[in-house]
Amino acid sequence: MKFCINCGNDIDNDRVICCDCEKNADLEALCERVGRFNAKTCEDYQLLRAAKEFIDPYSVRNLVFPISESLEKSRREYIRLKSMLYFGRLKKESSRWLYEKAPLMLEGNLSCDEKMQVKGALFTAYHYDYDYFKAEEIAEEIICEGGYDGYVRYNLAEYYVNTRRYAQAEDILKKGLEMYSEDDKTVDCYNELLSKSSKRQLGKENGGIVEYIPAAPENKKLYTEFMNSLGIEVRMPEPKAKAPVIDKIAKGDYPEFPQERNAGFKTFVAYDLETTGLHPDRESIIEIGAVRVVDGEVTENEKFIFRTFVHPYKRRISEEITALTGITNEMVRDAPQMWDAFNAFADFIGDDILVGFNNRNYDDRMLMRAGRYAKRIIRNKSFDVMVYADNFKGKLGSGAKKFSLKELSELLDIKNPQAHRAVADAVTTARIYLKLLEMDDIDINKEIINLLEDDWS
């Protein structure tokens, strides 16, 4: 930068503030302005000008470090810490810096409130670094001295929940709710943590079912030692047995389903899959649904229907997928594995053409993966209704790049009250295909009539 971030005057050195401002300006107030910089709301011309010097405009906040260089040591480090905390807790990579500078700040020229802020940051850093013994020392000091803010209060309560001291956590949170009753965001955060504490307390009473278990980066042995030092017995769950290595057909050796490119067939199996996600090579099937259509008749009785839940392979069902489909982890817990479900599905479809919606890019690939694990190759022809529907965009008055199943069913007045369930979507796919085929037949008949009329004229 070639200008002073405070007054805007040109400067020749590599500093970010001119000599006059360094001597006369309120550097702490300037650091606060810089540390709170928000590119979307800032109206400070000099800060916006400085932000343009960086690829990431928010890097302007880092200028707090050179601006504060001439301050007294303890205040300099406190101002720097404060700037790091404006938008949340200290980043993990900054913890080592804090551990080094905290003694200087706590022994220096800071007010009681400022020292409490340092202790709060130090406690939170130890907690999130899973150093429970050091976190406990700082927590005891903070509780003893009092006067901590809402942010530290929340972190203390979370720490007590994670170390299974629910009464202390709830006491801290309930007092906080009284203090911050007019701050909706804080109230919501406190209530959410209170709910978590209550659930874990219930888990403790029921045998530790949902109590805190050390996270993956943690040293479980050290956590157990710390908890034992508090007189709290910790029973770790038995490690899960490793999933057996499944003998399967190599990915490159499983043939793709041949594509049926000509509509007109009226006997087929329409199918749909519900899955844990959108990537066919990583996600897992959780439901298969299909309907057999014979001579253009969709018959919704069990003789013509195939349905099964599938136990997801190395995956869990997320809350988002449950909200979309209504399928929960509990519902698929005892369901067949995908290779067993595939074998049952392959028996059902026989040699019929498989009809799906966007199945060329997705469902077929998921089925092929299941077939690899089942070590069973099927060679049924596959027909994609979404691709077929592209021929009818003009007639249906749609400008969509690609139809969705929902949009197409609405355009064709086909009801699907159980969307995102496999059988319902399979039946909808079958009805859409037959409706489009009917429209196709009408056009062909018109062409024949026109040709005949031309011959007679």
Domain limit, last residue, from 229, 263, 287:
229
Residue 455 is predicted with a pLDDT of 47
CB 420 within 8 A of CB 325: yes
CATH number at residue 71: 1.25.40
311 is an active site residue: no
What is the rounded radius of gyration, in angstroms, for the C-alpha atoms of the chain?
33
Tokens of 351: 């040699």
Whether 30 and 166 share a structural domain: yes
Whether 220 and 311 share a structural domain: no
DSSP β-ladder status, 285-294 and 305-309: antiparallel
CB 232 within 8 A of CB 164: yes
- DSSP letter for each residue of 189-206: HHHHHHHHHHHHHHHHHT
Whether 96 and 40 share a structural domain: yes
CATH number at residue 294: 3.30.420.10
- Rounded to whole angstroms, the Cα distance separating 361 from 161 reads 46
Residue 124 is predicted with a pLDDT of 93
> Which residue from 279, 304, 287 is spatially nearest to 430, judged by alpha carbons?
304
DSSP β-ladder status, 382-384 and 354-356: parallel
Whether 366 and 313 share a structural domain: yes
The answer to whether position 290 is within a domain reads yes
- Amino acid at position 350, single letter: G
- Amino acid at position 334, single letter: D
- DSSP letter for each residue of 35-51: HT--TTT---HHHHHHH
* Separation in Å, CA 387 to CA 263, 287, 368, 392, 456: 11, 23, 20, 10, 37
Whether 418 and 273 share a structural domain: yes
Strand partners of residue 268: 293
The answer to whether position 169 is within a domain reads yes
- Number of neighbours of residue 419 by Cβ within 10 angstroms: 14
Q: Mean pLDDT per 10-residue run, the chain (457 residues)?
A: 90 85 95 92 92 88 93 95 84 90 95 94 93 95 89 92 92 92 90 89 63 75 90 75 75 94 95 94 95 94 94 93 95 95 97 96 95 96 95 82 90 92 96 93 50 45
Cβ-count burial 312-344 (b if 16+ within 10 Å, e if not): bbebebeeebeeebebeeeebeebbbbbbbbbe
Residue 149 is predicted with a pLDDT of 85
Residue 169 is predicted with a pLDDT of 93
Domain holding 164, by residue range, is 26-229
Tokens of 404: 């969705």
Give the length of the chain: 457
Residue 209 is predicted with a pLDDT of 53
Query: How would you classify residue 420: left for phi > 0, otherwise alpha for psi between -120 and 50, otherwise beta?
Result: left
Number of domains in the chain: 2
Tokens of 320: 């988002």
Whether 193 and 297 share a structural domain: no
Q: What is the pTM of this model?
A: 0.53
> Which residue from 72, 39, 50 is spatially nearest to 5, judged by alpha carbons?
50
Whether 183 and 258 share a structural domain: no
Whether 186 and 280 share a structural domain: no
